[in-house]
Structure 1
Amino acid sequence: MNQDGKLNYVEFPATDLAATKAFFGAAFDWSFTDYGPDYIAFSDQGLDGGFFRSEQSSSTATGAALLVLYSADIKATLAKVQQHGGTVIKAIFDFPGGCRFHFTEPSGNEFAVWSEGQV
């Protein structure tokens, strides 16, 4: 449900829409709607959004926001990320409230995954 003044949608650049779509479909079971050759959208993932064709990517090193996914089994999720073409850029580490890791997907965008508990 759309709510006034609340986050509603997020967009990311993607150098390879097909690879990004395949990665998130396999690693996180996302589905996409294609809107022409330069845009794919996802929904029902906690926040709706999309990827647009671009030669750039989103990284915290360049000041981009970090979107963090939740996992009930962080080690299994890390294995799926690696199996399906993601690159782990920060191994699992503890932080107050849980643990997490950071990865890039095939188009180079940085995401993180967190879970309750410590490693």
Structure 2
Amino acid sequence: MDTKNNHINYIEFKANDLEKTKAFYVKAFNWTFTDYGPTYTSFANSGVFGGFEQTDDTITNGALIVIQYKNLEEIRQKIINLGGKISVDIFSFPGGKRFQFLDPSGNELAVWCQLEE
């Protein structure tokens, strides 16, 4: 099985203050960060790749599990056919595209694919 397809490879959290959040994880766990604009930062040196997205909303369940999949359109349709609901349709970001969905229990996850070079 291709280890870059069909696996969880990224975890995304919400943050009300990115600078304070980054400082906390740097000091507590020695994580490293790369900023992608003023509202997003990714982290490494943590055992799994992930990121923090700036939000002004109250955070109740701030983790978003992200699954890598090579064909977004294919897996999007499969999710719909199996009763999942698309919560955020396909959009592009630097390096890839993704969408978010709700499983039958209401858990929100995301699926992404890398842009072809």
Task: Give the shorter-chain TM-score range.
Answer: 0.3 to 0.5
TM value normalised by structure 1: 0.46
User: If you compute each CA radius of gyration, which structure gives the higher value, 1 or 2?
Assistant: 2
